[in-house]
A = this chain, B = another copy of it.
């Protein structure tokens, strides 16, 4: 069966050991200067009581993207329409035969970014759910620890060369808030004047909002100008993260 994806000889869908296909979501938000991820407590059999990434089965007539969007809405408590406005991107697929002890489950992982804090929770059923600082999200069920780590790295990387960071911000935001996102995800402080210069010099990243709108009430300093996300999805030139020192190399 080398040529394209031809059904193997004698293949009978009902007889062949089936694959279940699921989606798993790493839903991130920035709260109080820390990156948080949405976790749910498992109630059932394998890893009962353990924390896991939210997710669920892909239904027979929907794509993984649709399933992910559905789960995202359910889990965050947002309407399907509001959820559709969030940044949701496919991360990668995890298919180790041993990743679920019950049966063969292939999971398509997604990363989602939500603005501030649409309250701790309010999901679909009785399951417990919470925002947890990514640093404290350890020993998750299944291979979710790895999925989370992969998602975290991907988000950090994409912050450099895409306008992804605006996905963490409300529709209108200040450059200070945007900088907070970068500092929080990367874990490094950035120089404020230089950050603003770079962001403003990158075409299509942000655009000023109309009136001379002051900052959200409650601020302690000079009011900041408001911006909204520009139409650029990819940043030219990129906003490079400070080199993590010298000859690292990475791998």
**A108 vs B90: C-alpha distance in the bound complex, in angstroms?**
12
- B-side contacts of A4, CB under 8 Å: 40, 42, 44, 47, 52-55, 141-142
Tell me how far the C-beta of A26 lies from the nearest C-beta in chain B, rounded to whole angstroms: 13
Residue in B2, B124, B232, B236 whose beta carbon sits within 8 Å of that of A125 in the complex = B2
The reply to whether B95 and A64 form a contact with Cβ atoms under 8 Å apart is yes
The reply to whether A127 and B251 form a contact with Cβ atoms under 8 Å apart is no
Assembly stoichiometry (copies) = 2
Instruction: Determine if A119 is an interface residue (Cβ-Cβ < 8 Å).
Output: no
Main secondary structure of the interface of A (DSSP, over half): loop
Instruction: Determine if A197 is an interface residue (Cβ-Cβ < 8 Å).
Output: no
**Residue of A3, A232, A249 most packed against chain B (CB within 10 A):** A3
Tell me how far the C-beta of A129 lies from the nearest C-beta in chain B, rounded to whole angstroms: 8
Please list the 5 inter-chain residue pairs (A to B) with the smallest Cβ-Cβ separation, ordered nearest first: A18-B18, A3-B127, A4-B52, A64-B95, A234-B250
Q: Which residues does A use to contact B, with CB under 8 Å?
A: 1-8, 13-14, 16-22, 24, 40-45, 47, 52-58, 60-65, 71, 74-75, 90, 92-93, 95-97, 100, 102-108, 123-125, 127, 141-142, 157, 160-161, 203-204, 230-234, 236-238, 240, 243, 246-251
